[in-house]
Amino acid sequence: MAADATEVVVIGSGFGGSVSAARLAEGGAKVTVLERGPWWDTVPVRSMGIANRTAFPRGLSLFRRALRAVHHPLLPGGSLRISRKGLLEVYVSRGMEVICSSGVGGGSHVYSALHRRPARPDFWDGHCDGLDEATMAPHYAAFLARVGSARPGLSNTPPHGALKLYGDHPHFAPVVPKDEVRVGFLFPRDPANPQLVTTEAGISRWETDYGSGDHGFLGAPSGSKSTMDFIYLGPALRHGLDVRPLSEVVAIIAQPGAARRFRIDYVDHAARRRSAIEADHVFLGAGTMNTLRLLLQSRDVHGGLRGMPHLGRRFSGNGDIRGFWDLNTPDTDYTEGIPSKGAIRLRDESRPQVGIGRNNMPSVDAYPFPRFVRQRLKRGMVVSGMGEDAMDGTASIAGGRFRIDFDPANSPIYGRIYEVMQEMARLSGRPVYAGRRPSTVHPMGGACLGRLEAVGVVGADGEVHGVPGLHVVDAAAFPRPTAAPPTLSIGAWAENVAARFLAKN
């Protein structure tokens, strides 16, 4: 198998991958992005001139393309692939389910676009020399500025917000976060009349249409949501960035003594063949689950990497539990507005004071279900809680298969969130369908930041201890749970890794 060559290969194009790839290409590096999923068919991606696009799953294609793969220990081979062009991926593991996504832009297509700092103000302090809250501050600012993340004003506030609905409620109160929460949506100047706008980079997108309900976790075709494909990758294409969709990496092989330090083996799903590319540097941003899987498989199955004694340790689900609050509020359509409607807490202070986020079901009009089912889904809310868990899970390879072991009993946060959700059900007289078993959309850790190989996997510049040239740019590197939505911190971390690389090379 002949391999072509480049300077930097970035694996994955979510927050970690896109941010680092764009910054490196714009800084003059020769960069190739390998992304296993397709370009999604959105207004901005069309305006970028990308020819081969895939429509988000809607209608009957929900059955074919909502899921890329399911991983379960009892499945033959441990996995069932449903579609190379599927949007979501589910890992069923010991003690927890994890949901992640696929496609150019990664999780930015499915997220609710909440940008929030970690709950602890000292998140970055004390793990590595030369890295702390102060050194990370400019990277947070750079990410927020590029995304244009903002808050709506009084005149264009989206409907169903917690502040408005629960300001005077007898049982529930809106959560007013200590830090500022920003949102990656392009808010309409006039909510009754959203406009098509063209960015400075010549990319078109629509302002958010609060009435469409079509911009949640099944993607936003209009471009109202700020996604990494057009915010970071689009402008970088003009700097020579090479993005290869439908390219699934299967192994990273270090080449000791060779001119190119790594060979990256991947499956080219478009051409239906195996390929390889060599690079001096690899930036791994496949999302926590797939970053850990690739590192472990490359080391333990393919023998392509060595060392990393702490790899797989300190995996966290960020304390996530979610459920459905079957409010069935008459004459109400909670899909109006933006996906996140703000969090609430119990007014009774003798109860756990955990904020419960409220989100609507996305794109319900496109579900191939009877009308009454769709209506019921529109009249209820997806509820979720998160917080600091024990971060004591492990990721490993057993019998050639990737697995996560996590015992939720060690993390009191889950019991507290579950108690609040059950109390919400009792006080509202409406059921909350939630399990005690964690289901996270925010996996993190497992390749954690640490001063030395003896305590962590990566250093302050994201480079893996003992494997020069290999970097981790996603939340697998986080030293503790963010206890908050993590994308702002993943973006800032990738900005930091890219800036340090450019300063050094």
Ligand X SMILES: Cc1cc2nc3c(=O)[nH]c(=O)nc-3n(C[C@H](O)[C@H](O)[C@H](O)COP(=O)(O)OP(=O)(O)OC[C@H]3O[C@@H](n4cnc5c(N)ncnc54)[C@H](O)[C@@H]3O)c2cc1C
Within residues 208-247, the interface with ligand X by CB under 6 A covers 217
Min CB(371)–ligand X separation in Å? 25
Q: Across the strands, what pairs with 307? A: none
- Residue 475 lies near ligand X (rule: CB under 6 A): yes
- Residue 100 lies near ligand X (rule: CB under 6 A): yes
Which of 252, 286, 460, 498 is close enough to bind ligand X by CB under 6 A?
Answer: 286
Q: If residue 145 lies in a helix (H) or strand (E), which one and from where to where?
A: helix 133-147
Please say which residue, 117 or 313, places its beta carbon nearer to ligand X.
Answer: 117
- Residue 496 lies near ligand X (rule: CB under 6 A): no
Please say which residue, 97 or 248, places its beta carbon nearer to ligand X.
Answer: 248
- Residue 31 lies near ligand X (rule: CB under 6 A): no
Please say which residue, 143 or 418, places its beta carbon nearer to ligand X.
Answer: 143
HEC secondary structure over 173-238: EECCCCCCCEECECCCCCCCCCCEEECCCCCEEECCCCCCCCCCCCCCCCCCECCHHHHHHHHHHC
Burial class (CB in 10 A: 0-12, 13-18, 19+), 155: exposed
Q: If residue 376 lies in a helix (H) or strand (E), which one and from where to where?
A: helix 371-378
Region from 230-238, 306-314, 455-463, 482-490 binding ligand X, contact rule CB under 6 A: 482-490
The first and second tokens of residue 333, run together, are 């359509």
Query: Do the Cβ atoms of 16 and 444 come closer than 8 Å?
Result: no
Min CB(347)–ligand X separation in Å? 25
Q: How far apart are the C-alpha atoms of 6 and 361, rounded to whole Å?
A: 42
Number of residues that bind ligand X (CB under 6 A): 40
Region from 112-120, 151-159, 387-395, 398-406 binding ligand X, contact rule CB under 6 A: 112-120
Region from 144-152, 286-294, 431-439, 457-465 binding ligand X, contact rule CB under 6 A: 286-294
Place of tokens 């929900």: 62
Please say which residue, 43 or 250, places its beta carbon nearer to ligand X.
Answer: 250
Place of tokens 């901005």: 44
Within residues 288-317, the interface with ligand X by CB under 6 A covers 288, 290, 294
Q: How far apart are the C-alpha atoms of 177 and 327, rounded to whole Å?
A: 25
Q: If residue 290 lies in a helix (H) or strand (E), which one and from where to where?
A: helix 287-296
Please say which residue, 69 or 203, places its beta carbon nearer to ligand X.
Answer: 69
Please say which residue, 186 or 423, places its beta carbon nearer to ligand X.
Answer: 186
- Residue 140 lies near ligand X (rule: CB under 6 A): no
Min CB(192)–ligand X separation in Å? 26
Q: Determine the residue type at 12.
A: G
Q: How far apart are the C-alpha atoms of 386 and 373, rounded to whole Å?
A: 28
Region from 15-23, 56-64, 219-227, 255-263 binding ligand X, contact rule CB under 6 A: 15-23
- Residue 16 lies near ligand X (rule: CB under 6 A): yes
Please say which residue, 128 or 483, places its beta carbon nearer to ligand X.
Answer: 483
Region from 6-14, 55-63, 191-199, 457-465 binding ligand X, contact rule CB under 6 A: 6-14
Min CB(454)–ligand X separation in Å? 26
Strands of 360-406, DSSP E: 381-385, 393-398, 401-405
- Residue 477 lies near ligand X (rule: CB under 6 A): no
- Residue 249 lies near ligand X (rule: CB under 6 A): yes
Q: How far apart are the C-alpha atoms of 31 and 239, rounded to whole Å?
A: 10
Number of H helices, E strands in the chain: 11, 28
Please say which residue, 223 or 423, places its beta carbon nearer to ligand X.
Answer: 223
- Residue 149 lies near ligand X (rule: CB under 6 A): no
- Residue 490 lies near ligand X (rule: CB under 6 A): yes
Min CB(486)–ligand X separation in Å? 5
Percent helix, strand, coil in the chain, to 5, is 25, 25, 50
- Residue 442 lies near ligand X (rule: CB under 6 A): yes
- Residue 54 lies near ligand X (rule: CB under 6 A): no
Which of 152, 194, 287, 408 is close enough to bind ligand X by CB under 6 A?
Answer: 287
Region from 78-86, 280-288, 448-456, 458-466 binding ligand X, contact rule CB under 6 A: 280-288
Spatial CB neighbours of 431, under 8 Å, sequence gap ≥ 6: 325, 326, 425
Please say which residue, 37 or 191, places its beta carbon nearer to ligand X.
Answer: 37
Query: Do the Cβ atoms of 379 and 332 come closer than 8 Å?
Result: yes
Q: How far apart are the C-alpha atoms of 94 and 73, rounded to whole Å?
A: 9
- Quick count: other Cβ atoms within 10 Å of Cβ 92? 15
Which of 9, 11, 231, 381 is close enough to bind ligand X by CB under 6 A?
Answer: 11
The first and second tokens of residue 218, run together, are 């099944």
Please say which residue, 358 or 423, places its beta carbon nearer to ligand X.
Answer: 358
Which of 14, 86, 245, 450 is close enough to bind ligand X by CB under 6 A?
Answer: 14
Burial class (CB in 10 A: 0-12, 13-18, 19+), 157: middle
Burial class (CB in 10 A: 0-12, 13-18, 19+), 171: middle
- Residue 481 lies near ligand X (rule: CB under 6 A): no
Which of 485, 492, 495, 496 is close enough to bind ligand X by CB under 6 A?
Answer: 485
Where along the sequence are the contacts to ligand X (CB under 6 A)? 11-17, 34-37, 99-103, 106-107, 110-114, 217, 248-249, 285-288, 290, 294, 441-442, 474-475, 485-487, 490
